């Protein structure tokens, strides 16, 4: 016991900033959970889910260097698992009115957390069968196969009437509204990913991204390592999908078009392929940004009837802003860097130096 106390003490001494940050973060979530309105709550929940799924995608695409585009399909599996297993049994007859639910499922109802983890596991199992043939090949085969898979899943779910209720979707899923579910799980997954990336497995992932031939020559089993990364990514994505279903309270196949995948691709490219903190930041930037620009879609913005403020302008402006960001940050906001305390201190010093230099040259330079 004493030993544990000592090691904990040593850990806190070394990472006190992180510990303080975590405490502040948890307090922040707690406060937000008490005081934000339902609109903001919905957006924040969505941010957290996007963090989970993007992080999973970055693990495979950014860290392991395997181009996978199956996010929407994997999310669909997680979402439908949660939907099928958590919808109250008494309301199932009303939902499945075209064709009753398959008898082997009709009377099973699981607690949310069990269904959520099951969703992750089912996703990982499906990912195994996609990865098994595809991860042996080099190049873009995985991208094509996962993209195709994602569409197949959507079409399968549209047609398995007695399990997924087809195109009608499943409604009345018990919803979660507390921020703790999404942010709690997002936090756990962020920490797990950080620990994974900084372990020997994380380095093996990165070595494959850098140079497959050298990685293999150094004893890193390509197939096994790629598969590990792919399955962990799929598991997290399934969890993200499950939370998504529970947030919206309804799932239907149209939510899982492959355009959903591009949202996550956008986030990881914007945040930096191979940066955990970049992914987290970009998830918030993209999700909040899309909401913040919503006024552009309204014809009566600023009380004037401006001719260009029409539905659709939001995405034009949003896409333009993305192009600008990508032009100035070639490798995404963070590149492969992480937002560590050291990194921030370094940036701060660099900024101070630059400002200090400017100050002597021109007087007004200190402002920025």
Partner 1 sequence: MSLLKTENVIMQFGGVVAVNDLNIDIKKGELAALIGPNGAGKTTAFNVITGVYTPTSGKVLITPTDSDGNRGEIDITGKKPDKITGLGVARTFQNIRLFKELSVMENVQVATHLNADYSFLSAILRAPKARKGEKQAKAECEFLLERLGLIDLRNEKASSLPYGQQRHLEIARALATKPQLLLLDEPAAGMNPQETDELTDLIFKLKTDFGLTIFMIEHHMDLVMEISDHIYVLDFGCTIAKGTPDEIQNNPKVIEAYLGVDADVED
Binding site residues, partner 1, CB under 8 A: 192, 195-196, 199-201, 203-204, 206-207, 210-211, 213-222, 228, 232, 274, 336
Q: 290-298: long-range contacts at Cβ-Cβ below 8 A with a sequence spacing of 24 or more?
A: 290/314, 290/318, 291/43, 293/317, 293/318
Q: How many Cβ atoms are within 10 Å of 307's Cβ, its own excluded?
A: 7
Q: How far is the CB of 257 from partner 1 (least distance, A)?
A: 32
DSSP string, 324-336: HHHHH-TTTTTTT
Is the CB of residue 288 less than 8 Å from the CB of residue 305? no
**Residue 282 beta carbon to partner 1: minimum distance, rounded to whole angstroms:** 19
Nearer to partner 1, 215 or 246 (CB): 215
DSSP-based three-state secondary structure for 170: strand
Long-range contacts of 25-32 (CB under 8 A, 24+ apart): 25/187, 29/179, 29/180, 29/183, 32/179
**DSSP symbols for 61-118:** IIIS------HHHHHHHHHHHHHHHHS-GGGHHHHS-SSPPPHHHHT----HHHHHHH
List the structure tokens of 310.
């029409």
Contact 82, 170 (CB under 8 A): no
| Calpha distance 300→192 (Å, rounded) | 46
Of 61 and 255, nearer to partner 1 (C-beta) is: 61
> What's the rounded Cα separation, in Å, for the pair 123 and 239?
9
Which one, 91 or 199, has the nearer CB to partner 1?
199
Distance of closest approach, residue 178 Cβ to partner 1, in angstroms: 26
Closer CB to partner 1, 92 or 209, in the complex: 209
Identify which of residues 216 and 298 has a Cβ nearer to partner 1 in the complex: 216
Under DSSP, the state recorded for 365 is G
CB of 243 to partner 1, least distance (A): 20
Considering the complex, state which of residue 11 and residue 16 has its C-beta at the smaller distance from partner 1.
11
The answer to whether the beta carbons of residues 321 and 289 sit under 8 Å apart is yes
How far is the C-alpha of 101 from the C-alpha of 95, rounded, in Å? 9
**Closer residue to partner 1 (CB): 201 or 262:** 201
Nearest Cα residue to 61 out of 259, 239, 276, 216: 276
| Nearest distance from C-beta of residue 239 to partner 1, angstroms | 15
Minimum CB distance to partner 1 smaller for 200 or for 362: 200
At its nearest, how many Å lie between partner 1 and the CB of residue 352? 23
CB of 217 to partner 1, least distance (A): 5
Q: How far is the CB of 220 from partner 1 (least distance, A)?
A: 5
Nearer to partner 1, 76 or 232 (CB): 232
DSSP 249: S
Residue 215 Cβ, how far from partner 1 at the closest point, in Å? 7
What lies within 8 Å, CB to CB, of 330 at 6+ separation is none
């Amino acid at each position: 016991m004493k030993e544990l106390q000592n090691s904990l003490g040593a850990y806190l001494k070394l990472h006190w900033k992180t510990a303080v940050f975590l405490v502040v973060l948890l307090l922040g979530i707690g406060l937000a959970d008490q005081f934000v309105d339902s609109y903001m709550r919905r957006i924040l929940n969505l941010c957290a889910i996007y963090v989970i799924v993007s992080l999973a995608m970055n693990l495979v695409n950014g860290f392991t260097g395997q181009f996978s585009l199956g996010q929407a399909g994997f999310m669909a599996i997680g979402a439908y698992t949660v939907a099928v297993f958590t919808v109250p049994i008494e309301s199932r007859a009303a939902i499945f009115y075209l064709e009753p639910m398959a008898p082997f499922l009709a009377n099973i109802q699981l607690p949310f957390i069990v269904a959520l983890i099951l969703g992750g596991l089912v996703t990982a199992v499906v990912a195994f069968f996609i990865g098994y043939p595809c991860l042996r090949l080099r190049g873009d085969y995985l991208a094509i196969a996962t993209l195709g898979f994602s569409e197949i899943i959507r079409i399968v779910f549209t047609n398995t009437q007695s399990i997924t209720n087809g195109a009608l979707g499943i409604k009345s899923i018990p919803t979660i509204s507390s921020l703790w579910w999404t942010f709690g799980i997002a936090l756990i997954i962020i920490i797990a990913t950080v620990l994974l990336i900084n372990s020997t497995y994380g380095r093996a992932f990165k070595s494959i991204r850098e140079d497959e031939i050298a990685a293999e020559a150094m004893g890193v089993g390509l197939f096994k390592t790629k598969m590990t990364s792919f399955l962990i990514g799929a598991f997290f994505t399934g969890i993200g999908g499950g939370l998504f279903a529970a947030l919206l309270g309804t799932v239907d196949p149209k939510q899982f078009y492959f355009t959903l995948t591009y949202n996550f691709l956008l986030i990881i490219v914007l945040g930096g392929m191979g940066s955990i903190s970049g992914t987290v930041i970009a998830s918030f930037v993209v999700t909040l940004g899309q909401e913040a620009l919503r006024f552009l879609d309204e014809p009566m913005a600023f009380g004037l009837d401006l001719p260009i403020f029409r539905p659709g302008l939001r995405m034009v402006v949003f896409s333009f802003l993305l192009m600008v960001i990508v032009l100035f940050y070639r490798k995404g906001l963070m590149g492969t860097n992480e937002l560590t305390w050291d990194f921030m201190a370094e940036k701060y010093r660099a900024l101070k130096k630059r400002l200090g230099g400017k100050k002597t040259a021109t007087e007004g330079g200190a402002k920025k």
